[in-house]
Amino acid sequence: MDRLRLAIRVVLAYSRALRTTLAFVGLMVLVAAISAYAGGETLRGVFELAEEIRAPRSPHEWLIWVSFFSLRIVPVLGFVEVASLDRETRTEIRVRAMEGHAVVVGLGHLGRRVARDLRRAGMEVVALVLPSDRDRNEAVEELGGIGVRVVFGDATTGQALQRAGVPRARVLVVTVDDDLTNATVAERARKLNSRLRIVVRTFRSEVGELLRAGGAADVTLSTSEISSGLFAAAAALDVEGSAPIPSPIRVAGALVGVTPGELEERGIRVLSRLTDGLWSPPGVEPLSEGEVLLVQDLGLQDTRHPRGLGRGEKA
């Protein structure tokens, strides 16, 4: 059933791009129908002309024959029309066929890392960025190379959110460095998809509280508040190097049955497991469906070979 739904979405998506081809088909069918009606031709007679079982004799029969003969070039016409589409249009067509994907708004330092990590986790990702970033943001090409679909538009408008597939998406991550913009995007996205999981970057804690209280966001995170403790620890303690921020996730999809050791080989270290409301050591037992883990990204940089982590959910 899922494959059938996907096939239908793909056909409908590409049908919008084949306007000229479909208009040509419609015109030829209309000419054949009018000619058959005007000439008093039976359905069997039309079939015989279309299949060239008999040669046309009257002007009406010639029009019927020419109409059906012209339909033979439809595959070529359709191929040329699709091949002539620009890159952005082809991307938007593919996005129309997507469902259950993640949408990341903004491709700054935070946005590109979120998009990259979601791809590594096995999710389909659509990035929505301003048109001004089309040529000046190197992340557009970088993320496109690992399978992130990049759509250009103003995320504060419902039209841009729809083009990014928000009504069919599973999760939205808003990473723009402006509270008002992020709040506007979250509120409009919620209206388009009531089941969407929305994670919003905020700078002021009161903005995050309002978004959560109003139902516009499920999670609000302040990068400055999260990192301030790490900066303080680095200054006060005798430590060196970088400290990736641990994240809680809920085990789902391909993560089920994987051991903590196998997960670490893929670049994710399990720091702790939530058992009966208490955090406990990771142990060696395979992960179970719905289990909550505290994990740390070890920072493997080889994006050519995704880790195949499946769709673990943020806790």
Secondary structure (3-state) at 270: strand
Q: Which residue has the higher pLDDT, 48 or 6?
A: 48
**Mean model confidence pLDDT for the chain:** 81
Cα(272)–Cα(134) distance, integer angstroms: 41
pLDDT at site 122: 85
Q: Which of 91, 100, 90, 86 is nearest to 151 (CA)?
A: 91
Q: How far is CA 17 from the centre of its chain?
A: 19
Lowest mean pLDDT among 58-62, 85-89, 254-258: 85-89
Tell me the residue type at 18. L
Query: Which residue type, as a one-letter code, is found at position 140?
Result: V
- Domains detected in the chain: 18-84 (no CATH), 98-229 (3.40.50.720), 244-314 (3.30.70)
Q: Which two tokens stand for residue 200?
A: 């919003």
Separation of alpha carbons 174 and 105, rounded Å: 5
pLDDT tens readout for residues 76-126: 887 777 666 667 777 777 888 889 999 999 988 899 999 998 988 888 999
Alpha-carbon distance of 117 to 107, in angstroms, equals: 13
**Residue 315, token pair as written in the block:** 């806790």
Helix (H, G, I), strand (E, B) or coil at 124: coil
pTM score above 0.95 = no
Q: Is the pLDDT of residue 300 over 70?
A: no
- In this prediction, residues 12-24 reach a mean pLDDT of 72
The arrangement of strands across the sheet holding 219-221 comes to: 149-152, 125-129, 102-105, 171-174, 197-201, 219-221
Residue 234: pLDDT band (50, 70, 90) is low
Report how far residue 138's alpha carbon sits from residue 128's, in angstroms, rounded to the nearest whole number.
Answer: 14
Per-residue tokens: 66: 């020419």
The answer to whether 199 touches 172, Cβ cutoff 8 Å, is: yes
Q: Which of 201, 118, 113 is nearest to 155 (CA)?
A: 201
Nearest alpha carbon to residue 274 among 255, 257, 294: 294
pLDDT of residue 60: 86
Residue 275, pLDDT score: 77
| DSSP label at residue 73 | G
First CA to last CA distance, the chain: 29
Q: Which two tokens stand for residue 25?
A: 């088909």
DSSP 8-state code for residue 246: P
Lowest-confidence region among 46-60, 228-242, 287-301: 228-242
Q: Beta strand 313-314 with 247-250: parallel, antiparallel or unpaired?
A: antiparallel
